[in-house]
């Protein structure tokens, strides 16, 4: 491709809303273009990368035995009513009506559609197991779209759904996808960690997330170096502390004027925050009540665990307002579990502490030396986020913490959809048995940006060769110098013949300007035809290592051909 014919739209600066390197670089390199919040267009260079990522995913999915289909984004309300999700999904679901007032939605995911396809098309148990997948655009009206393709409202997902006769079959299908995902992310060059994930109300250890390791990741992971346990902090369990052996002291109400936060209270009373407990009140719209969660003062409530305990739904579970808190006879900043008239969930850790500081449900007062069962009670459960130094639930080793970008998730759905939607097969006894399902997602566009997050430097993107928009670029220092331009052309033609995806920078521009463009765009190899062109010597630049070497034309050409042949 000749650079003069390309749509190169590099920018010196990224628009203000881009906060993280990968988002800034995708915009600056002209890979994508933003129109409305959380919605992106792919420009030629970005699309080439996207296609390559998709091809790798397709190859591995096809190798796994899965069958590719392509579904519409538009889905009928009726199927979502059947699965019970039309009411449950909340405002993230983009709902619409056609001109006949028929209610529809833009699919945020496709369980309903695939279950409907399977129940109609899988006629005999002999057709099982079956795994069907697609790469397709998804819509989620995210509350806070941000970080570019990382959390957008329209994004590309690879989603697969497996159908099996029984648990043993599902186990195999799941493992097959686990292995396939590992191959995909390895081929894509992603540094990743596989972690146990939450399965909501289905329970069990039936889900894993694939996390691209990154400081800007929204997910937090704890892991154990010793035994390999790794889990999202929302899912992770820990070895809980033993019951304290401290002597129980008498409960005492103390004045704590204007001391509302844990930091304020602990510094006012001169104790460590870990000696306090915080009580947070939520409005559970599913069960239409207020509930309280109590965790150690220096901990965070894990709403996923709490919602599971309360048999509620995350989309309908929010912090209570000051008014609602007042209606319980308490006051924001001074809430505590003693005599509180609502369902109270007490984290196990708090139940095992002695002489804790809690709010007194009265303006400007707290209790000191409060003790579970003697002074307050509630349902004891695990409702906290795990974190670094908590003890591993398997081997009690102190765990470490990482941040990650969730690029994929696999999930044993069991019969969550097949049962209500009657996706069944007939067994030897003539009974209708719901199929065991699994679902498997990869955020394709999020993965693209995660690669940039892991492969960049101050000059721009450093695409791994197998997903780079082009493999190499040939830059004559000046297009007006015949020797340089002819040599550049000759190398360009030779590489093209060998199926290298190559660009000839025939633009009439300063060399520094050109170099900056290609470094920003992230083309893995650059061949510069300069002063020594007439001797057949070129400069060879490696974008990953930033190394520059003088090579003969044939050495430079062979390096590129060899590298591309080994992709
Ligand atoms: P998250 O917790 O990040 O919101 P999720 O668990 O809701 O994601 P899934 O339903 O498991 O997402 O979707 C499968 C994959 O799709 C995710 O692993 C992620 O890579 C990607 N994905 C989900 N939401 C978005 C989004 N808003 N923008 C881009 N990719 C997304
Ligand atoms: Mg997920």
CATH superfamily ID and name for 252-381: YbaK/aminoacyl-tRNA synthetase-associated domain (3.90.960.10)
Residue 201: pLDDT over 80: no
pLDDT at 482: 95
pLDDT at 202: 57
Q: Which of 203-212, 334-343, 385-394, 411-420 has the lowest mean pLDDT?
A: 203-212
Counting atoms of ligand 1 from 1, which one is nearest the CA of 209? 18
CA 281 from centroid of its chain's CA atoms: 28
- CB of 159 closer than 8 Å to CB of 441: yes
Residue 477: pLDDT over 60: yes
CA 200 – CA 386 distance, rounded (Å): 17
> Who has greater pLDDT, 234 or 140?
140
CA 566 – CA 562 distance, rounded (Å): 6
- Give the bridge partners for 416, in sequence order: none
Q: How many contiguous H segments (helices) and E segments (strands) does the chain have? A: 14, 31
CA 256 – CA 364 distance, rounded (Å): 5
Counting atoms of ligand 1 from 1, which one is nearest the CA of 441? 14
221-230: pLDDT as tens digits:
999 999 999 9
Which one of the ligands is nearest to 407 CA?
A: 1
The CA 490 to ligand 1 mean position distance, Å, reads: 46
Sequence ranges of the chain with CATH classification 3.30.930.10: 15-236+401-453
Q: Which residues contact 65 (CB under 8 A, 6 or more apart)?
A: 131, 176
* 3 state SS of 277: strand
The CA 140 to ligand 1 mean position distance, Å, reads: 9
Residue 484 corresponds to which tokens in the numbers above? 């340089």
Nearest to 217 by CA among 196, 192, 197, 237: 192
Residues lining ligand 2 (ion), CB within 5 A?
409
370-407: pLDDT as tens digits:
999 999 999 999 999 999 999 999 999 999 999 999 99
- Within 6 A (CB) of ligand 1 lie 109, 140, 142, 151-152, 155, 157, 406-409, 441, 443, 445-446
Which one of the ligands is nearest to 181 CA?
A: 1
Counting atoms of ligand 1 from 1, which one is nearest the CA of 408? 18
pLDDT at 198: 79
Average pLDDT over residues 409-415: 96
Of the pLDDT bands very low, low, confident and very high (cuts 50, 70, 90), residue 204 is low
Q: Which of 198-212, 340-354, 426-440, 477-491 has the lowest mean pLDDT?
A: 198-212
- CB of 177 closer than 8 Å to CB of 410: yes
pTM: 0.89
Which one of the ligands is nearest to 219 CA?
A: 1
pLDDT at 16: 87
The CA 320 to ligand 1 mean position distance, Å, reads: 27
Residue 68: pLDDT over 90: yes
Residue 203: pLDDT over 60: no
CA 556 from centroid of its chain's CA atoms: 39
Looking at CATH, the fold of the domain delimited by 15-236+401-453 is given as: BirA Bifunctional Protein; domain 2 (3.30.930)
Residue 232: pLDDT over 60: yes
State which CATH number among 2.30.30.90, 3.40.50.150, 3.40.50.800, 3.40.190.10 fits the domain covering 470-565: 3.40.50.800
Counting atoms of ligand 1 from 1, which one is nearest the CA of 447? 20
Residue bearing the CA closest to ligand 1, atom 13:
441
Which one of the ligands is nearest to 212 CA?
A: 1
The chain-wide mean pLDDT, for the chain, equals 96
- CB of 441 closer than 8 Å to CB of 417: no
291-312: pLDDT as tens digits:
999 999 999 999 999 999 999 9
- CB of 133 closer than 8 Å to CB of 106: no
Residue bearing the CA closest to ligand 1, atom 16:
443
Residue bearing the CA closest to ligand 1, atom 26:
151
260-291: pLDDT as tens digits:
999 999 999 999 999 999 999 999 999 999 99
């Amino acid at each position: 491709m000749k650079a003069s014919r390309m749509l190169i739209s590099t920018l010196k600066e990224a628009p203000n809303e881009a906060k993280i390197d990968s988002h800034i670089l995708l915009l600056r390199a002209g890979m994508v273009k933003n129109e409305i919040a959380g919605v992106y267009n792919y420009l030629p260079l970005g699309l080439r990368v996207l296609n390559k990522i998709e091809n790798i995913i397709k190859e591995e999915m096809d190798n796994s035995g899965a069958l590719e289909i392509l579904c519409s984004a538009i889905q009928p309300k009726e199927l979502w009513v059947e699965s019970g999700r039309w009411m449950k999904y909340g405002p993230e679901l983009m709902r619409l009506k056609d001109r006949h007032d028929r209610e529809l939605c833009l699919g945020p995911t496709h369980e309903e559609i695939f279950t409907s396809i399977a129940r109609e098309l899988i006629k005999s148990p002999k057709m099982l197991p079956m795994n069907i997948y697609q790469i397709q655009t998804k819509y989620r009206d995210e509350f806070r779209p941000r970080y570019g393709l990382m959390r957008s409202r329209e994004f590309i997902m690879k989603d697969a759904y497996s159908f099996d006769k029984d648990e043993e079959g599902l186990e195999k299908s799941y493992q097959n996808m686990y292995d396939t995902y590992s191959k995909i992310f390895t081929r894509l060059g992603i540094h990743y960690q596989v972690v146990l994930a939450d399965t909501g109300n289905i329970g069990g250890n039936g889900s894993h997330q694939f996390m691209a390791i990154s400081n800007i990741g929204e997910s937090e992971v704890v892991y154990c170096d010793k035994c390999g346990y790794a889990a999202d902090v929302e899912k992770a369990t820990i070895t809980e502390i033993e019951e304290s052996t401290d002597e129980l002291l008498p409960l005492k109400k103390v004045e704590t004027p204007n001391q509302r936060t844990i930091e304020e209270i602990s510094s006012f009373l001169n104790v460590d925050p870990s000696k306090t407990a915080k009580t947070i009140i939520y409005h559970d719209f599913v069960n239409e009540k207020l509930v309280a969660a109590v965790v150690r003062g220096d901990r965070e409530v894990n709403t996923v665990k709490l919602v599971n305990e309360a048999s509620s739904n995350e989309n309908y579970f929010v912090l209570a307002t000051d008014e609602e808190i007042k209606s319980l006879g308490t006051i924001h900043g001074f809430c505590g579990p003693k005599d509180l008239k609502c369902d109270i969930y007490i984290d196990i850790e708090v139940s095992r502490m002695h002489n804790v500081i809690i709010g007194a449900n009265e303006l400007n007062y707290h209790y000191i030396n409060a003790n579970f069962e003697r002074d307050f009670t509630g349902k004891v459960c695990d409702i906290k986020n795990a974190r670094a130094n908590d003890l591993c639930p398997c081997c009690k080793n102190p765990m470490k913490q990482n941040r990650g970008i969730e690029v994929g998730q696999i999930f044993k759905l069991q019969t969550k959809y097949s049962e209500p939607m009657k996706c069944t097969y007939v067994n030897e006894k003539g009974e209708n048995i719901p199929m065991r399902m699994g679902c498997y997602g990869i955020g394709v566009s999020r993965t693209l940006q995660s690669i940039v997050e892991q492969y960049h430097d101050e000059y721009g993107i450093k695409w791994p060769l197998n997903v780079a928009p082009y493999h190499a670029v040939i830059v004559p220092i000046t297009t007006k110098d015949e020797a340089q331009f002819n040599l550049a052309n000759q190398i360009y033609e030779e590489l093209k013949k060998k199926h290298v995806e190559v660009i000839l920078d025939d633009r009439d521009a300063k060399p520094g300007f050109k170099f900056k463009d290609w470094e920003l765009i992230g083309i893995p190899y650059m061949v510069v035809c300069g002063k020594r062109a007439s001797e057949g010597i070129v400069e060879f630049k490696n974008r990953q290592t930033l190394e520059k070497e003088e090579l003969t034309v044939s050495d430079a050409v062979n390096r590129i051909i060899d590298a591309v042949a080994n992709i």
